[in-house]
C-alpha cells in the first residue's frame, strides 16, 4: 500500500510539475532574456530596489482602459501628462506642456510642448503625440473607457507644429489643466488595430515618465525600471516593483516581515497593526476622500419627472437636518475608522485642499444632538407612535427607511449599525440593505430606489467634478440612463453658482464661489458629509531612506495624482549584505529544507522497510 500510495503521489506530482512547466514556458523564456540583460551590466553595484505592495492587481496595462487605482498610478509613472499638480501647492504645473495660454473667449487653449523630452525609445515627444491621444479618445468608443468624460467638451484638437497643441472646447472648461489623460507615443500606438481590446503587454514599454515597465506577471507583480532618458533626469533608484496582494492581512504581514517595503491606501485596522514596529514608519496624513450620506430628496429625472420610491419625509429639508443632528461623527470616526479620519464639519471637499475647503462655524454648524433632532421633528409635525416610530404629519406612513450600503464593506456595515441605533432614538426605523456595486449604482444613481445611502468621492485637486455631481443635468434621463448624480439634487442657487465658477478664471473669485456652493449643500443637506478618512500608509525605514509626499507638506505617498513621491524615492544603500545574495540565501535555505525532507522521507521509508522485514522474520 505504501508503495501504491507513494507511486500515485509521485505520478500526480510529476504531472502537476509538467503542467507548471508548460504553463510557464513562455514567461521563463522572458525571464532568461532579462537575466542575460542584467548579466551584461553585472559589474555595477547592488541594485537599488523598492517594492510597493498593492491590495489589487492591474486591470489593464492599456491606459485607455485601466481604471483601478494601482493601474492609473503605474501609468502616471510610465507616461507624461500635459500638466501635473505642483508638488508644493497642487496647482497645475508644467509637465510635457511647458507653457499654455487661453484665448479671450476661453474656448481655445494653446499648449507649448516641452523641448527635449523624449520617449524611452529615443524618439522626441511632440504635439502630434498629444493630438493623436486626445483625438483617439474623442473618436474611438473603445478608447473612451477610462477617460471618455474628460474630453466630452472638446471640439477639436490639433497639432499646428511639433511643439504647439491647440485644443478648442465647446464650452469654457476650468479643469482644462488637470486632464487625467496620459500622452501616448503615436508612433507605437498608431498601428494598434482595436484600442478597446488591446492589452499593451509589450516590454519594455515605450513611455516618457520616470519609470518604464519591463515586466508584468499577471496577478503577481509589475517590474518598473528607472527611465534614464527622463526629462527631469532619472530617479534615484534602479527598480520599482509593484507586488499584488489579494489579502490585506497578508500584505501587512509581508511588510512587517520585509517581503515588501511600502504599502499605501491602508484601512485603519491594518494601519494600527503596524504600530510599535521599529523598522516601519507609519504615514498618517490628510486624505483626498470625503465619505457622505445621500438622502433621496424626492428624486426626479433630468426633465423633472418624479422617479423612484424614496421616503416622502426626506423631501422635507427639516427631516434631513434632523437626521444630520442624529449622526455622531466623532464616534463614527472613532469606531469605523479607528480614529484615523477627520469628522466632517464641512461638505464634500476634504480639508486637504485647503484652498477650496469650507466648513460650518459657530451657530451654523450642525452638532450631534438627539434632543435637538427630536425637537425639530416634533415641531415639523412628525409625531411619535406607541412603538416609538414617527409618522408623517398627515398621518399614515411611518418613518421607516432603508439604508443602502455596499456588500462586503465592513466600514459601511459598522456605520449602518451605529446609524440604526441613533435614528431609533429619534423615532426613525432604519433597515440596512446590502447591494452589490452594480445594483447600488443603479438604485442610487438612476432608478432612485433608496431612502438613505452611503457614498464617497476621491476629490481631485480641482473640485469641479465632485460639485458637478449635484447638478440638475446629472440626473438620469427619462428612460432611466444615469448621468452620474450623487444626490438627485436640483437647486437653482447651486446651479447659478456652478455656472459662474465655470467661467470664472480669476482663481480667488472662483474659490469663493466654490465655497458658497459647499455651504448650500450643507444647509440644504441632499448629502451630509460624515468624515474625511486619513491617508494611511506605511514603509520600512531600513529599505526606504526618504520619500517626498504630494503635496510636500503633509501629503500622500501612493495613489495621489502625481509621480512626485515615486520620483523622489531613495532606497537605503546597502553595503554589507546585498539583496541579491539575500535571495541566494533564501534559495539555499529552500534547497536545504528540500534535501532534509527528501532524506528524512527516505530514512523513514528505510526504517519501515526494516521493521517490515522484522515482522516477516517472526
Q: Which of residues 225-264 bind other proteins (CB under 8 A)?
A: 241, 243-254, 256-257, 259
Among 36, 577, 532, 26, CA closest to 284: 532
For other proteins, the closer CB: 52 or 157? 52
Q: What is the CA radius of gyration of the chain?
A: 29
For other proteins, the closer CB: 129 or 486? 486
**Separation of alpha carbons 143 and 53, rounded Å:** 29
Per rule CB under 8 A, count of chain residues that contact other proteins = 101
User: Which of 18-26, 202-210, 316-324, 540-548 is the region at the interface with other proteins (rule: CB under 8 A)?
Assistant: 18-26
Question: Cβ 530 to other proteins, closest distance in Å?
Answer: 15
Residues 6+ apart with CB under 8 A from 292: 344, 348, 454, 455, 456, 457, 527, 528, 529, 530
**What does the per-residue mask of binding to other proteins show for 122-161, with x meaning CB under 8 A?**
-------------------x--xx--xx--x---------
For other proteins, the closer CB: 8 or 503? 8
The cell for 389 is 416610530
**Separation of alpha carbons 420 and 454, rounded Å:** 13
- Strand-pair partners of 571: 544
**Separation of alpha carbons 424 and 327, rounded Å:** 12
Report helix angle 370-379 to 317-325, nearest 10: 160
**What does the per-residue mask of binding to other proteins show for 315-354, with x meaning CB under 8 A?**
--------------------x--x----------------
Whole-number Cα distances in Å, 212 to 209, 228, 534: 7, 9, 30
Q: Left if phi > 0, otherwise alpha if psi is -120 to 50, otherwise beta: which for 237? A: beta
* Under 8 Å between Cβ of 261 and 526: no
Among 562, 542, 558, CA closest to 54: 558
**Is residue 32 involved in binding other proteins (CB under 8 A)?**
yes
Whole-number Cα distances in Å, 480 to 134, 162, 474: 30, 45, 12
Question: Cβ 239 to other proteins, closest distance in Å?
Answer: 8
User: Which of 169-177, 299-307, 551-559, 579-587 is the region at the interface with other proteins (rule: CB under 8 A)?
Assistant: 579-587
For other proteins, the closer CB: 108 or 432? 432
Whole-number Cα distances in Å, 503 to 93, 124, 272, 506: 20, 35, 45, 9
User: Which of 12-20, 98-106, 303-311, 544-552 is the region at the interface with other proteins (rule: CB under 8 A)?
Assistant: 12-20
- Which positions from 481 through 520 interact with other proteins, judged by CB under 8 A? 481-484
Question: Cβ 182 to other proteins, closest distance in Å?
Answer: 17
Q: Which of 106, 168, 217, 496 binds other proteins (CB under 8 A)?
A: 217
- Which positions from 398 through 457 interact with other proteins, judged by CB under 8 A? 407-408, 410, 414, 417-418, 421-422, 432, 434, 436-439, 441-442, 446
Question: Cβ 270 to other proteins, closest distance in Å?
Answer: 5
Question: Cβ 25 to other proteins, closest distance in Å?
Answer: 10
User: Which of 179-187, 193-201, 281-289, 503-511 is the region at the interface with other proteins (rule: CB under 8 A)?
Assistant: 193-201
3-state secondary structure 496-508: HHHHHHHHCCCHH
Q: Which of 125, 137, 273, 525 binds other proteins (CB under 8 A)?
A: 273
- Which positions from 525 through 564 interact with other proteins, judged by CB under 8 A? none
**Is residue 26 involved in binding other proteins (CB under 8 A)?**
no
- Which positions from 40 through 59 interact with other proteins, judged by CB under 8 A? 51, 59
**What does the per-residue mask of binding to other proteins show for 289-318, with x meaning CB under 8 A?**
------------------------------
**Separation of alpha carbons 150 and 589, rounded Å:** 53
- Which positions from 66 through 105 interact with other proteins, judged by CB under 8 A? 67
Question: Cβ 118 to other proteins, closest distance in Å?
Answer: 27
Give the chain's end-to-end CA distance (angstroms, integer).
21
Exposure letters 572-589 (e unless 16+ CB within 10 A, then b) = eeeeeeeeeeeeeeeeee
User: Which of 123-131, 191-199, 299-307, 543-551 is the region at the interface with other proteins (rule: CB under 8 A)?
Assistant: 191-199
For other proteins, the closer CB: 145 or 523? 145
- Which positions from 583 through 612 interact with other proteins, judged by CB under 8 A? 583, 587, 590-591, 594, 612
φ, ψ of residue 167 to 5 degrees: the values are -115, 125
Amino acid at each position: 500500500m505504501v508503495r501504491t500510495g507513494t507511486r500515485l503521489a509521485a505520478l500526480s506530482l510529476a504531472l502537476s510539475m509538467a503542467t507548471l512547466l508548460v504553463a510557464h514556458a513562455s514567461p521563463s523564456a522572458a525571464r532568461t532574456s532579462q537575466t542575460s540583460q542584467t548579466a551584461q551590466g553585472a559589474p555595477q553595484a547592488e541594485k537599488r530596489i523598492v517594492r510597493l505592495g498593492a491590495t489589487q492587481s492591474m486591470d489593464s496595462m492599456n491606459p485607455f482602459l485601466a481604471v483601478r487605482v494601482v493601474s492609473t498610478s503605474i501609468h502616471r509613472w510610465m507616461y507624461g501628462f500635459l500638466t501635473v499638480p505642483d508638488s508644493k501647492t497642487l496647482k497645475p504645473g508644467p509637465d510635457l506642456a511647458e507653457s499654455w495660454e487661453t484665448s479671450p473667449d476661453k474656448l481655445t487653449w494653446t499648449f507649448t510642448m516641452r523641448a527635449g523630452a523624449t520617449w524611452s525609445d529615443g524618439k522626441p515627444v511632440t504635439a502630434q503625440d498629444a493630438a493623436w491621444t486626445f483625438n483617439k479618445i474623442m473618436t474611438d468608443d473603445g478608447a473612451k473607457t477610462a477617460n471618455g468624460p474628460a474630453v466630452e467638451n472638446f471640439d477639436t484638437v490639433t497639432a499646428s507644429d511639433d511643439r504647439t497643441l491647440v485644443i478648442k472646447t465647446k464650452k469654457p472648461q476650468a479643469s482644462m489643466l488637470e486632464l487625467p489623460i496620459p500622452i501616448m507615443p503615436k508612433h507605437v500606438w498608431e498601428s494598434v488595430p482595436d484600442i478597446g481590446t488591446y492589452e499593451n503587454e509589450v516590454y519594455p514599454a515605450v513611455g516618457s515618465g520616470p519609470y518604464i515597465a519591463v515586466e508584468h506577471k499577471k496577478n503577481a507583480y509589475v517590474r518598473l525600471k528607472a527611465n534614464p532618458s527622463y526629462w527631469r533626469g532619472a530617479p534615484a533608484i534602479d527598480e520599482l516593483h509593484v507586488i499584488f496582494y489579494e489579502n490585506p492581512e497578508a500584505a501587512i504581514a509581508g511588510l512587517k516581515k520585509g517581503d515588501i517595503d511600502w504599502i499605501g491606501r491602508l484601512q485603519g485596522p491594518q494601519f494600527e497593526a503596524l504600530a510599535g514596529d521599529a523598522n516601519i514608519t507609519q504615514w498618517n496624513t490628510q486624505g483626498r476622500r470625503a465619505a457622505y450620506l445621500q438622502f433621496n430628496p424626492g428624486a426626479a429625472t433630468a426633465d423633472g419627472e418624479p422617479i423612484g420610491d424614496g421616503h416622502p419625509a426626506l423631501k422635507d429639508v427639516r427631516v434631513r437636518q434632523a437626521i444630520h443632528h442624529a449622526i455622531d461623527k466623532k464616534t463614527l470616526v472613532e469606531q469605523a475608522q479607528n480614529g484615523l479620519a477627520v469628522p466632517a464639519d464641512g461638505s464634500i471637499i476634504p480639508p486637504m485642499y485647503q484652498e477650496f475647503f469650507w466648513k460650518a462655524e459657530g451657530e451654523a454648524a450642525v452638532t450631534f444632538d438627539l434632543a435637538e433632532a427630536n425637537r425639530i421633528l416634533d415641531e415639523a409635525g412628525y409625531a411619535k407612535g406607541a412603538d416609538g416610530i414617527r409618522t408623517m404629519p398627515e398621518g399614515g406612513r411611518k418613518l421607516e427607511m432603508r439604508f443602502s450600503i455596499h456588500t462586503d464593506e465592513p466600514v459601511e456595515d459598522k456605520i449602518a449599525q451605529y446609524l440604526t441605533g441613533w435614528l431609533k432614538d429619534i423615532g426613525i426605523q432604519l433597515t440596512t440593505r446590502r447591494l452589490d456595486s452594480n445594483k447600488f449604482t443603479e438604485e442610487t444613481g438612476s432608478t432612485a430606489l433608496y431612502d438613505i445611502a452611503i457614498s464617497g468621492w476621491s476629490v481631485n485637486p480641482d473640485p469641479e467634478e465632485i460639485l458637478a455631481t449635484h447638478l440638475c443635468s446629472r440626473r438620469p434621463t427619462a428612460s432611466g440612463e444615469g448621468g452620474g448624480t450623487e444626490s438627485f439634487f436640483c437647486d437653482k442657487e447651486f446651479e447659478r453658482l456652478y455656472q459662474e465658477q465655470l467661467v470664472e478664471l480669476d482663481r480667488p473669485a472662483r474659490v469663493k464661489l466654490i465655497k458658497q456652493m459647499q455651504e448650500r449643500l450643507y444647509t440644504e443637506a441632499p448629502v451630509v458629509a460624515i468624515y474625511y478618512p486619513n491617508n494611511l500608509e506605511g514603509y520600512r525605514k531600513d529599505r526606504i531612506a526618504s520619500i517626498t509626499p504630494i503635496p510636500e507638506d503633509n501629503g500622500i505617498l501612493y495613489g495621489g495624482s502625481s509621480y512626485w513621491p515615486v520620483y523622489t524615492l531613495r532606497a537605503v544603500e546597502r553595503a554589507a549584505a546585498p539583496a541579491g545574495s539575500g535571495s541566494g540565501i533564501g534559495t539555499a535555505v529552500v534547497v536545504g529544507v528540500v534535501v532534509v525532507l527528501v532524506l528524512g522521507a527516505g530514512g523513514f521509508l528505510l526504517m519501515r522497510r526494516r521493521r517490515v522485514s522484522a515482522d516477516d522474520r517472526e
